[in-house]
Chains A and B, each alone.
Chain A
């Protein structure tokens, strides 16, 4: 197969776009897809200081690399979740990437704060992935506010978002559906803008970018995510994609395009998530974070588990 752009030997074929690229043209394609997502969803401008959340996996490290290549001012944040062995190895990948590229990386250790995720999950009797999500959302926003960042960027890709959408539809999670979008606007001085610049790239494309640009990422799966429903949704979508290329992209972008039509859920939540509105958010009386409830989800989790951050 030849590169559709320059005619050299292709290293990756993309059925959804009926195309194939050599290494250099694929990198251009990836940059173009990310630039398009940033512009189409008005994620941020050249003036914004961006905090990139990096796990040590392919997506977040690829995102950091792409944003740096595109000339954005962005620093990294790594949360060491305290998952025995796996977290140390993930942390090393993030640290090594930052050292090689000479960029700023802040590391926050859950172990050092006395709230490692496995312990929090055990004590609170909640699923590990749910606890992990709560912890990440809390510290991503907190670190961004502390560091004066306007934007938090995560490495969620098209497969992540299409799988999340499928799960939300299968269980008719209206509230989650109304909030699912590639940009969550800021809320006053409580929440910073959250963006997903890889939302137009599949997981395979993201992995190929990491490999072709020499990014050393953690290949092993998080031991806590074994049997996660999101993996099953991704598998189901990949089977559809195999016989109907472009399904994931049209499923996700079609949803985003038609989101305003889901008017009732939209209007119910509009005040809460509208630009700079403040809406029905208030401050958590325990930690001061933005929350619909008091205490916030994170503080409720740590109170329930009897493990308060040091």
Chain B
């Protein structure tokens, strides 16, 4: 399972793997412009493959006010 943590809210979920970052965002109903994805301190492009046992962080980028 891929562990996915939202760095802003601290919320963590697990998803089936393997899959690409693009597939992960689709599954979570997130658009690419709203979030960055990191693994082991590295930013990932949308074609990066996520393996089972990977731990990834989602970093929301939209701020308001």
The stretch that binds B, out of A44-52, A192-200, A228-236, is A228-236
Q: How many A-B residue pairs have CB under 8 A?
A: 84
Contact yes or no, B32 A15, CB < 8 A: yes
B36–A238 CB distance below 8 A? no
Interface string of A210-244 (1 = CB under 8 A from B): 01100000011110110010110011001101100
Residue from the list A13, A204, A231 in contact with B64, Cβ < 8 A: A231
Please tell me the size bucket of the interface on A: 35 or more
**Residue pair A225, B31 in contact (C-beta under 8 Å):** no
B7 within 8 A of A: yes
| B13 part of interface (Cβ distance < 8 Å) | no
- Please report which residues of chain B, range 7-34, place their CB below 8 angstroms from some CB of chain A when the two chains form the complex: 7-8, 31-34
Look across to chain B and name the residue whose beta carbon is closest to the beta carbon of A237: B33
Cβ distance B34 to chain A, nearest Cβ, rounded Å? 5
A12 on interface, CB distance cutoff 8 Å: yes
Q: Which residue of B lies closest to A207 (CB)?
A: B61
| Chain B proximity of A11: nearest CB distance (Å) | 4
Chain B CB within 10 Å, residue with most, of A15, A57, A203, A204: A204
The answer to whether B63 and A203 touch across the interface, beta carbons within 8 angstroms, is yes
CA distance A238 to B30 in the complex (A): 10
Indicate whether A1 reaches chain B with its CB closer than 8 angstroms.
yes
Within 8 A of B (CB), among A4-61: 10-13, 15, 20, 57-59
B62 contacts across to A, CB distance below 8 A: 159, 203, 231, 234-235, 238
Cβ contact within 8 Å between A211 and B33: no
The residue in chain A whose Cβ has the minimal distance to the Cβ of B9 is A220
Contact A208 B64 (CB under 8 A): no
> Roughly how many angstroms separate A239 CA and B25 CA in the complex, as a whole number?
13
Kindly list chain A residues whose C-beta atoms are within 8 Å of the C-beta of B38.
Answer: 211
A154 in contact (CB, < 8 A): no
- What is the distance, in angstroms, from A21's C-beta to the closest C-beta of chain B? 10
Q: In the complex, A4 Cα to B55 Cα: how many Å?
A: 27
Q: How far is the CB of A3 from chain B (nearest CB, A)?
A: 10
Cross-interface CB contact of B36 among A159, A204, A228, A242, cutoff 8 Å: A204
A92 at the interface (CB under 8 A from B): no
The residue in B33, B35, B46 that gathers the most chain A C-beta atoms within 10 A of its C-beta is: B33
Binding site for B on A (CB under 8 A): 1, 10-13, 15, 20, 57-59, 129, 132, 159, 202-204, 206-208, 211-212, 219-222, 224-225, 228, 230-231, 234-235, 238-239, 241-242
